[in-house]
């Protein structure tokens, strides 16, 4: 694209990014005395005897979620229909098995992966059909997987949140191939040079670049599509933001921004935060516009220093209304972790998330329990997860979400 055309578009976005940066600076000042983290590399229900009615002392935001949330993350790997005939019956059987299991184990909420790779496990006019359902990206099936999921969850009294990866297009091996109707593929193959940089590569991975308003709109429109067409109770994004320690992947965009901003340019980290914050706040607004009572959540990494490296502005999200209804940090460590033990991380997040109306749901590493992960610290006791749930109650969190089904 020509420098002039790019500059015109960048200038239009600079003011909003600068305003966001002011907010970032203000929140940083407010939170600069919070604890800092170091770098760190059963037959019965786990929820048995947990209270079904919980008052955290905060003002309710009018959301559809009441009480102590007891959730389960259901990643795309658990939804894959590989090994079946990929029929509607196979999809229903898979979802019924999943939801029967989490209901039996005491869950009241499921967070189901519906866009893991810039694709769709639902009927979409924006993103290609996911390989998870049909076996090949872009290959449609006759039924609507998410409609079946919503109906199956509601029949069991489960809340259902649509989980998306907003920026991830693909990794080195997943999906095996991208379809012709994938936005990234279309941008690379059309005659419009303006959109060639709407995605960037970091190593073997491809990401949508949130520096571009057109990309942010694409992602937000995809969220609108879900909330408008499906009776979901929430939308949640996870911790895939900018790649860690890669300052070259979007250096062109950052340089163009600096030239347009003149002497008032932000650091690359804060500029990236501005891009992410613009995306996050737009998703929040879209969710609430499309459906009253529908929630928008974010699930960042537990280590706050790592969040900083990927330009996740957790301080703003936790302190300023208009970014998220809930935050669910992935505290995937045991209480014996040598650098960041569970209770230390939990305390930091409890002290960070204090804004009235923003819920704190703690994501717990069920997948590590009973394994030799984290230098064998999960093998020191047999009640890791139940004890962590009790600590979440002690610190007056609003719920827990197990990773994973």
| Least confident window among 58-62, 130-134, 267-271, 372-376 | 58-62
The predicted model gives 377-394 an average pLDDT of 97
How much is the pLDDT for 63?
40
How much is the pLDDT for 356?
87
Phi first, then psi: give them for residue 188, nearest 5 degrees: -75, -25
pLDDT tens per residue, range 131-148: 999 999 999 999 999 999
How much is the pLDDT for 10?
52
Taking 90 as the threshold, does the pLDDT of residue 4 lie above it?
A: no
The predicted model gives 375-382 an average pLDDT of 96
Phi first, then psi: give them for residue 197, nearest 5 degrees: -105, 15
pLDDT tens per residue, range 74-84: 999 999 999 99
Taking 50 as the threshold, does the pLDDT of residue 99 lie above it?
A: yes
CA nearest 324: which of 363, 355, 350, 347? 355
pLDDT tens per residue, range 14-31: 444 544 544 444 443 333
9 falls in which pLDDT band (50, 70, 90)?
low
Percent of the chain clearing pLDDT 90 (strictly above): 81
How much is the pLDDT for 7?
52
d(CA 74, CA 114): 10
Taking 60 as the threshold, does the pLDDT of residue 244 lie above it?
A: yes
**Rg (the chain; Cα; Å):** 21
Q: Looking at the DSSP assignment, which residues form a beta bridge with residue 338?
A: none
CA nearest 366: which of 324, 322, 334? 334
67 falls in which pLDDT band (50, 70, 90)?
confident
How much is the pLDDT for 65?
54
How much is the pLDDT for 36?
33
Average model confidence (pLDDT) across the chain: 88
Q: Looking at the DSSP assignment, which residues form a beta bridge with residue 207?
A: 168, 200
pLDDT tens per residue, range 32-65: 333 333 333 332 344 443 333 323 332 333 344 5
How much is the pLDDT for 64?
42
How much is the pLDDT for 194?
92
Taking the CA atoms of residue 329, residue 332, residue 333 and residue 334 in that order, the dihedral angle to the nearest 10 degrees is 110
pLDDT tens per residue, range 282-302: 999 999 999 999 999 999 999
Following DSSP, what letter does each residue of 145-179 receive, concatenated? HHHHHHHHHHHTT-EEEEEE-SSEEE-SSSSSS--
Place of tokens 């790649």: 243
How much is the pLDDT for 32?
35
The predicted model gives 260-286 an average pLDDT of 96
Give the CA angle between residues 286, 291, 295 to the nearest 5°.
75
Taking 80 as the threshold, does the pLDDT of residue 280 lie above it?
A: yes
233 falls in which pLDDT band (50, 70, 90)?
very high
The predicted model gives 257-279 an average pLDDT of 96
405 falls in which pLDDT band (50, 70, 90)?
confident
Taking 60 as the threshold, does the pLDDT of residue 314 lie above it?
A: yes
How much is the pLDDT for 102?
96
pLDDT tens per residue, range 141-168: 999 999 999 999 999 999 999 999 999 9
The predicted model gives 268-286 an average pLDDT of 98
Domains in the chain (CATH in brackets) are 3-403 (3.20.20.80)
């Amino acid at each position: 694209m020509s420098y002039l055309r790019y500059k015109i578009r960048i200038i239009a976005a600079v003011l909003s990014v600068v305003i966001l940066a002011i907010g970032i600076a203000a929140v940083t000042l407010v939170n600069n005395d919070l604890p800092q983290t170091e770098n760190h590399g059963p037959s019965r229900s786990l929820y048995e005897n947990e209270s079904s009615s919980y008052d955290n002392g905060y003002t309710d935001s009018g959301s559809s979620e009441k009480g102590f949330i007891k959730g389960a993350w259901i990643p795309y790997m658990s939804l894959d229909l590989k090994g079946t005939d990929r029929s509607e019956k196979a999809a229903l059987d898979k979802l019924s098995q999943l939801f029967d299991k989490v209901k039996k184990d005491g869950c009241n909420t499921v967070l189901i992966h519906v866009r893991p790779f810039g694709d769709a496990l639902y009927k979409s006019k924006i993103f290609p059909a996911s390989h998870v359902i049909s076996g090949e990206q872009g290959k449609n099936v006759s039924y609507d997987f998410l409609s079946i999921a919503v109906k199956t969850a509601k029949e069991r009294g489960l809340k259902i949140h649509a989980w998306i990866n907003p920026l991830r297009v693909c990794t080195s091996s997943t999906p095996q191939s991208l379809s012709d109707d994938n936005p990234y593929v279309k941008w690379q193959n059309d005659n419009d040079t303006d959109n060639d940089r709407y995605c960037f590569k970091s190593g073997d991975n491809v990401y949508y670049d949130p520096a571009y308003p057109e990309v942010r709109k694409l992602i937000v429109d995809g969220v609108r599509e879900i909330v408008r067409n499906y009776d979901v109770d929430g939308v949640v994004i996870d911790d895939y933001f900018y790649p860690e320690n890669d300052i070259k992947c979007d250096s062109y965009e950052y340089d163009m921004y600096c030239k347009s901003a003149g002497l008032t340019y932000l650091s690359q980290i804060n500029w990236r935060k501005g891009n992410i914050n613009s995306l996050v706040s737009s998703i929040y607004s879209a969710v609430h516009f499309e459906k009253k009572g529908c929630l928008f959540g974010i699930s960042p990494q537990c280590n706050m220093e790592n969040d900083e490296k990927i330009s996740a502005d957790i301080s703003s999200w936790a302190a300023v209304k208009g970014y998220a209804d809930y935050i669910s940090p992935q505290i995937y460590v045991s209480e014996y972790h040598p650098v960041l033990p569970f209770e230390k991380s939990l305390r930091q997040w409890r002290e960070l998330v204090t804004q009235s109306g923003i819920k704190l749901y703690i994501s717990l590493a069920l997948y590590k329990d009973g394994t030799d992960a984290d230098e064998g610290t999960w093998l020191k006791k047999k009640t890791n997860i139940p004890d962590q749930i009790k600590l979440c109650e002690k610190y007056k969190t609003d719920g827990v979400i197990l990773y994973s089904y």
